Structure 1
Amino acid sequence: MTASTSRRSVLAAAGAATAAVSLAACSSESGGGESGSDSNSGEGGGDGGGGDAASGELGKAADIPEGGGKVFKDQKVVVTRPSANEYKAFDSTCTHQGCAVKEITGGNIVCPCHNSKFDINDGSPTGGPAKKPLAPKKVVVEGDSIKLA
């Protein structure tokens, strides 16, 4: 075996190992991201759960900060509050590779996998590799509760 063949073999093996690690990282996160309970660092915070799944209730409307939002991990929905009396909801699955969005900060819904960002007003992509908007969902405020419609 010559030195160039050996070097070529080593480089090919290193490239294959790098590709395998990259693919494993994407596929392990595409099932919903990390399993921790941090649903929204930045504006709003929250536990990611809450609400009564049977009634469609997500939580208290007052828990959604104006100019921010909250990810409801169990219901796979992100609710934003662009202004005082306006609530929007979107599917929490990133349109790039299916990771779960994790936080709302600076007027954007952020996916931790590849840093795609979506506008809190309409779910349109504002940065990162995602090209499609988050799918809209319907929510209503009834009393002090916010519910999936």
Structure 2
Amino acid sequence: MSDELTGPGTQTRRALLAGAGAVGVSVVLAACGTGDDDALDGTGNSPSAGGAPSPTGSPSAPAKGGSAAALAKKSEIPVGGGKILADQQVVVTQPTEGEFKAFSSICTHQQCPVTGVDGGTINCSCHFSKFSVADGSVKGGPATKPLAEKKINVDGDDIVLA
């Protein structure tokens, strides 16, 4: 095969490969971002975009009977640990016996979902930020802003968004 044009409207292999390489580089650069935590308001929303909440940040739909669907059972949340509910973008924690907290499960550094709760911290494996299970504060960077707190209610054994 040669790099010559074979007819009107066709590109050379070299031009095609160069274009594909440029697209690949732009995707990698976009994924790295600026690292500017101030670009978002802690909820995943850009202040310049009006700060309107995204549909994924809204409370769960009410279950039959008019009450909100349970995020988790109290028994599912270990003391000093937590449980990530990716579909709700929430992490529920139990810092001390009987005390339950909830936070956004989206890291404030580059908006990756957090991936684990271990050793008293909520952990993001994208860039290794760590947040307190007690108050969502930053325990290890590169994140500089805490996880946004979510309001919850404990109803019997159920933990629900408020």
- TM-score w.r.t. the length of structure 1 is 0.66
Q: 2:149 aligns with which of 123, 136, 144?
A: 136
Q: Return the alpha-carbon distance in structure 2 between the equivalents of residues 19 and 112 of structure 1.
A: 23
The residue that corresponds to 1:5 in the other structure is: none
Query: How does the TM-score come out when normalised to structure 2?
Result: 0.61
RMSD: 2.3
Give, in whole Å, the separation in 2 of the partners of 1:21 and 1:62: 42
Q: 1:73-125: CA deviations, max 9, x gaps?
A: 01111111001110011011110011111100110000111000001111000
- Of 92, 95, 109, 1:96 maps to 109
Between Structure 1 and Structure 2, the one with more strand by share is: 1
Does residue 114 of the first structure (1) align with residue 120 of the second (2)? no
CA distance in 2, matches of 1:96, 1:68: 21
| Inter-CA distance 134–121: structure 2 relative to 1 (3 Å threshold) | same
For residues 126 and 19 of structure 1, what CA distance do their matches in structure 2 show? 33
CA positional deviation for 1:24: 5.5
The 4+ residue runs of structure 1 with deviation greater than 6 A are none
Could you tell me whether the CA contact under 8 Å between 1:58 and 1:146 is conserved in 2?
yes
1:68 paired with 2:68, answer: no
Show structure 2 runs of 5+ residues with no match: 1-21, 34-59, 63-67
Partner deviation per Cα, 1:58-81 (whole Å, 9 max, x = no partner): 121110011100010011111110
**Residue of structure 2 aligned with 1:105, choices 98, 118, 122:** 118
Give percent identity, aligned residues only: 56
Q: CA deviation at 1:56?
A: 3.5
- The residue type equivalent to 1:147 in the other structure is V
- Structure 1: where are the runs of 5+ without partners? 1-15, 28-51
